[in-house]
Copies of this chain bind each other. A is one copy, B any other.
Amino acid sequence: MTSQELTEQIFKKRSFLCVGLDTDLDKIPTYLLSEEDPVFSFNKAIIDATHEYCVAYKPNIAFYEAMGIKGWQALQKTIEYLHQEYPEIYTIADAKRGDIGNTSRMYAKAFLEDLNFDSITVAPYMGKDSVEPFLEFTNKHTILLALTSNEGAFDFQTLQTEGEELYKKVIKTSKGWKNAENLMYVVGATKAEFLGDIRKLIPENFLLVPGVGAQGGSLEEVCKYGMTKNVGLLVNSSRKIIYASDSSNFAEIAGAKAEALQQQMAQELDKLQ
């Protein structure tokens, strides 16, 4: 999916919500555990109940890998279900990969080609040749970690390096890489006050913003500093939506939580006019 198509979906649905599928057997309703594939059953129910209110889903790959082969099967079924039932939905493999060129190429194949995700999150530490293999894919995005939502972001990302913070250096340098038009960036909602500066560097690129909800970030602040005339935001919520309830109507309640966020987002979109 292109950035333009994604923007069209955002205006059509009046939502820039991404629902994080951090599906954990210890947290889903216990009655699902007797199903053949509890993780896929959970994801399917969540997707059916929330898809009207969001434009993207973001499976967190760690949660699937922690279940070994069964986890990969559930991931594969989830992405296939999304492609078949809701082809207008944008998909993000939250994998935070990055390695030397021939290895990054393998990760890119796994997620962007075989599983056919629209995008993948990538860590920048190993530099240009670790990221470019992901950027080669047409109509796909590479979502580079810039300023993450966690406390540890202040360990290295905000260090002063030759006159500016490391995360700014990451943004500026990556803009010069081959196929840089395929880049999006991760900026945590807990760091909304940094978004103004970031928008000066990348006025157009989409930002994937985690940390609204369980991690405490404010949607209003994120929009105030980060929204462009084409929106340029995907705001993720995971736990606050998918684990809002563990009763038999968990999906319905997740749908209501997603709708509430969509309503707030619609108000923010109204301010653009």
Query: For the complex, is A130 an interface residue (Cβ under 8 Å from B)?
Result: yes
Proximity bits, A149-163, B CB within 8 Å = 1, else 0: 111111111011110
The one of B60, B98, B215 that contacts A123, using a Cβ cutoff of 8 Å: B98
- A145 surroundings in chain B (CB, below 8 A): 125-126
CB atoms of A68 and B72 under 8 A apart: yes
- A152 surroundings in chain B (CB, below 8 A): 100, 126-131
- A115 surroundings in chain B (CB, below 8 A): 68
CB atoms of B173 and A66 under 8 A apart: no
Query: For the complex, is A106 an interface residue (Cβ under 8 Å from B)?
Result: yes
CB atoms of B103 and A60 under 8 A apart: yes
- Tell me, rounded to whole Å, the shortest Cβ–Cβ distance linking A150 to chain B: 4
Query: For the complex, is A213 an interface residue (Cβ under 8 Å from B)?
Result: no
* Number of residues of chain A lying within 8 A (CB) of chain B: 57
CB atoms of B169 and A156 under 8 A apart: yes
CB atoms of A66 and B150 under 8 A apart: no
- A72 surroundings in chain B (CB, below 8 A): 68-69, 72
The answer to whether residues A65 and B98 also contact, given A125-B123, A160-B161 and a CB cut-off of 8 A, is: no
- A173 surroundings in chain B (CB, below 8 A): 155-156
Counting chain B CB atoms within 10 Å of each CB, the highest count among A106, A125, A131, A153 belongs to A125
Query: Who on chain B is nearest to A102 by CB?
Result: B22
CB atoms of A170 and B156 under 8 A apart: yes
The one of B101, B148, B155 that contacts A150, using a Cβ cutoff of 8 Å: B101
CB atoms of A124 and B126 under 8 A apart: no
Query: Who on chain B is nearest to A154 by CB?
Result: B127
The answer to whether residues A127 and B151 also contact, given A156-B170, A161-B161 and a CB cut-off of 8 A, is: yes
Proximity bits, A99-131, B CB within 8 Å = 1, else 0: 111111011011000110000000111111111
Query: For the complex, is A267 an interface residue (Cβ under 8 Å from B)?
Result: no
Query: For the complex, is A175 an interface residue (Cβ under 8 Å from B)?
Result: no
11 examples of A-B residue contacts, CB within 8 angstroms: A24-B106, A66-B114, A69-B69, A100-B148, A124-B155, A125-B145, A126-B148, A127-B151, A127-B152, A156-B173, A160-B162
Q: Interface residues, chain A, CB within 8 Å of chain B?
A: 22, 24, 60, 62-63, 65-66, 68-69, 72-73, 76, 94, 96-104, 106-107, 109-110, 114-115, 123-131, 145, 148-157, 159-162, 166, 169-170, 173, 215
In the complex, besides A66-B106, A129-B150, A155-B173, 8 extra interface pairs with C-beta distance below 8 angstroms are: A62-B99, A65-B106, A65-B107, A96-B126, A100-B148, A127-B157, A128-B151, A130-B152
